[in-house]
Amino acid sequence: MKSQRLTGRRLTSAAIYLLSGALGLVAFIYPFFAPVVAADRAWAHGQDAPLLTAALVGLSVLALMVELQGRSLSAKTVAMLGVLVAVTSVLRFLETAFPMPGGFSPIFAPIMIAGYVFGGRFGFLMGTFTLLASALITGGVGPWLPYQMYTAGWAGLTAGWLRTLASAMRRPRSGRVSRLDVGAGHLSEDRGQAWTRWSILMLCIFGFMWGLLYGAIVNVYFWPFAGGPAEQTWVPGIGLGETLARYAAFYVVTSLVWDLTRAAGNVALILLLGAPMVKALERFRRRFNFEVGDVGQRAGSTQEEAGICV
Amino acid sequence: MFDARVWLIWALATLVTASSTRNPLYIIVLLLTTTVVSATCPEGEGRRAPLSPLRFATFAVPLSTVFNALTVHFGHTVLFRLPDWLPLMGGTVTLEAMSFGAVNGLTLTVIFSAFSVFNQVTPVRDLIRLAPRAFHEGGVVLSIALTFIPQTARSLNRIRDAQAVRGHRVRGVRDWVPIVVPLLVSGLERAMGLAEAMVARGYGAVSDEAQPVHRAGVLVLGLLALLGGWLAYLFRPAWQTGAVAMMIVGAALVGVVVWVTGRGVRHTVYRERRWTLGDSLVLAGCALTLAITLTQSTALQYSPYPRLELPPFAPIVGLGMLGLLVPAVVTLGQETTESHQTKGIGQQAHLKADNG
């Protein structure tokens, strides 16, 4: 009975992740396929679709937050999340006080590293709350905020999945490295160092990719409204290929250099701070997982609390 | 001052109105409105954005004007011509393209200005209070983060001083490592202490239960309805009514789950803020502006292409936009009343002193 309930819970949880992700994705990329429909049927939603998109992104963030919070956060997770969000928000404050080159922002590397160490659920919450808290302290609340929260949340969420991928890719040479192995300090020093180097390499690639993706995704929300040359603006009814070509031209002209500095900044920060941060966070993860009591009964829930199972 | 929800609606109404037109006259009316509201409404406990709307305008308007002028080669009034071999920029530079770029920059300034006012007048605690009860754990995380931010900033300075005493100087990015890592570790140590204090005070003792499966099932249904409705809305014009109905049902199901989840959370408020007549007046002003924006969409339309002409101005639309000025009017009215009352009390005190 209990296992049936657990399977049902996992299935609904996976469905919520999938559907809210799909909803957000469709809401973001609708300009790329809506024109095909418009050309075909002489019907388009040039005016109302952008407003609906904003509502849909908001609803999908709400649904994902309900799901992520619905699994009940422990006091340790709440405290750690709050403090890490505070530390990262201070970095954002530094960014606004001392403007940095292009789109470089010091907040993305900590979000990805935290998601990588503590799991996707923790990463998503850290991404969304960091953007929200830093917007509150720097006066950055605006129509752009839900989109920024959603995208940063997904960067943190996928960083958790990266850990699984990194572990699976290490399997042939040195055996699969599970989060539990690292968390419980089961790895030898050499293997531990090799694993940290491998993690940093994976995080660098991931950080570079999200540096570009963040800009490319967030741009899409205002692109249908943006004015500009005909070869860079969205017009209903021009077809998928033409829309993609126009968006690519718009992105290259307005954002590529900006986003490249963000991507390069992410890589530089991960190279500089990644290894000590991963080590420190791993150590605290072990400490946060430590509980006195019936280990056999509590082990599963404790791992889940720290986001291990996401 | 006004309720945080009222300010949010005011900022959103300004956003919708500014996005609905490219007529420079209406955009200027909106810009003046947000400027007057910003000047008259006290800062309260809100935060000022690092960039003022004026400074934002000084780079957004010229940038947008130059960008549009150099990349859009359309319009009858040709100012000069750039060589064709220049990628994207080669071609005619027209007055119409410059005007359109300038209006785009002004529109962005209006939106930025409206949200600057929102940030300026709304205290952070009121914003956190806007979060639905279902997200109470998120509210706790946010409260911890906002409480710890000043402490973290102080820690940062302490660590920098301590490292400086040991001869460490920050010359490049690499020199931040001995500062950021101790900052992170000390923060996590504080989190450990905080978590123990929270557990000792009973945090999670009553709410340590996962969300029921059936509630998650309703959430799945809601998301399915939203996704299905949205796809039908885009791809099946004939099903438009059904698609909208599906989206409404989906949004309602998500809303019900949020409401039911929040209902189980015990909530206490210390000194609840009362709804005032001023709040209602501001809402009425926003409703008036939105009604005019939605019903007079033809009057709002204007484009400088293909030949620049004077933009039309419909007085009813201009007057409707003044609905967004209500916060300033109400604030000035309140200040006048308060100053009269203070003067009255002062005169009474004078009279008493004279009689005495």
Q: How many domains does chain B have?
A: 2
pLDDT, tens digit only, all 356 positions of chain B: 788 889 989 998 998 888 788 899 999 999 999 999 998 887 665 566 667 888 888 888 898 888 888 877 778 888 988 888 877 677 888 898 899 889 988 988 998 899 888 888 888 778 777 777 777 777 888 888 888 888 888 888 888 889 888 888 777 767 788 888 888 888 888 888 888 888 888 776 655 455 677 888 888 899 899 888 888 887 777 888 888 899 999 999 988 988 888 887 777 777 777 889 999 999 999 999 999 988 888 888 888 888 888 899 999 999 999 999 999 999 988 877 777 777 676 677 666 766 65
Enclosing domain of residue B260: 208-264
Confidence of residue A38 (pLDDT cuts 50, 70, 90): very low
Query: d(Cα A237, Cα A226) in Å, to the nearest integer?
Result: 17
Query: d(Cα B109, Cα B40) in Å, to the nearest integer?
Result: 19
Query: d(Cα A300, Cα B165) in Å, to the nearest integer?
Result: 46
Q: Is residue B85 part of a domain?
A: yes
pLDDT, tens digit (0-9, with 9 covering 90-100), for A204-217: 999 999 999 898 88
Confidence of residue A22 (pLDDT cuts 50, 70, 90): confident
Query: d(Cα A304, Cα A288) in Å, to the nearest integer?
Result: 12
The predicted structure's pLDDT at residue A43? 40
A66 contacts B49? CB cut-off 8 A? no
Higher pLDDT, A73 or A35: A73
* Residue ranges per structural domain of chain A: 73-305
Closest Cα of chain A to B173: distance in Å? 8
Q: What is the mean pLDDT of residues A2-26?
A: 76
Q: Is residue B327 part of a domain?
A: yes
Q: Is residue B169 part of a domain?
A: no
The predicted structure's pLDDT at residue B238? 80
pLDDT at A303 over 50: no
Query: Is the bond preceding residue B304 a cis peptide, omega within 30 degrees?
Result: no
Query: d(Cα A73, Cα B57) in Å, to the nearest integer?
Result: 44
Residue A299 touches chain B, beta carbons under 8 Å = no
pLDDT at A93 over 90: no
A15 contacts B210? CB cut-off 8 A? no
Residues of chain A with Cβ-Cβ distance to B216 below 8 Å are 9, 12-13, 16, 67, 70
The residues near A202 (Cβ < 8 Å, ≥ 6 apart) are A162, A165, A166
Instruction: Indicate if B233 and B311 belong to the same structural domain.
Output: no
Burial of residue B314 (number of CB atoms within 10 Å: 0-12, 13-18, 19+): middle
Q: What is the mean pLDDT of residues A45-59?
A: 67
A134-172: string of b/e by CB count within 10 Å (b at 16+)? bbbbbbbbbbbebbbbbbbbbbbbbbbbbbeebbeebee
ipTM: 0.72
Closest Cα of chain A to B102: distance in Å? 11
B235 contacts A19? CB cut-off 8 A? no
Residue B239 touches chain A, beta carbons under 8 Å = no
Q: Is residue B136 part of a domain?
A: no
Which among A71, A229, A232 is the nearest to B211, CB-wise? Answer: A71
pLDDT, tens digit (0-9, with 9 covering 90-100), for A235-273: 666 667 777 788 888 888 778 888 898 999 899 989 988
Query: d(Cα B188, Cα A85) in Å, to the nearest integer?
Result: 11
Nearest CA in chain B to A140: B49
Q: Is residue B300 part of a domain?
A: yes
Residue A244 touches chain B, beta carbons under 8 Å = no
Confidence of residue A220 (pLDDT cuts 50, 70, 90): confident
Nearest CA in chain B to A229: B72
Of B191, B23, B35, B170, the closest CA to residue B100 belongs to B23
pLDDT at A39 over 50: no
Residues of chain A with Cβ-Cβ distance to B115 below 8 Å are 141-143
Evaluate whether A204 touches A214 at the Cβ level (below 8 Å): no
Residue A132 touches chain B, beta carbons under 8 Å = yes
Of A261, A160, A278, A162, the closest CA to residue A214 belongs to A261
Instruction: Indicate if B217 and B122 belong to the same structural domain.
Output: no
Which residues 145-164 of B have a C-beta within 8 angstroms of A? 145-149, 151-153, 156
CATH topology of domain A73-305: Arp2/3 complex 21 kDa subunit ARPC3 (1.10.1760)
Query: d(Cα A199, Cα A4) in Å, to the nearest integer?
Result: 35
Closest Cα of chain A to B356: distance in Å? 53
Q: Is residue B159 part of a domain?
A: no
Residues of chain B with Cβ-Cβ distance to A71 below 8 Å are 210-211
Q: Is residue B19 part of a domain?
A: yes
Query: d(Cα B176, Cα B159) in Å, to the nearest integer?
Result: 11
How many Cβ atoms are within 10 Å of B12's Cβ, its own excluded?
A: 16
The predicted structure's pLDDT at residue B321? 93
Give the DSSP per-residue string, A185-209.
T-S-HHHHHHHHHHHHHHHHHHHHH
Closest Cα of chain A to B270: distance in Å? 22
Tokens of B59: 């780079």
Q: Is residue B198 part of a domain?
A: no
- The pLDDT mean for chain A works out to 75
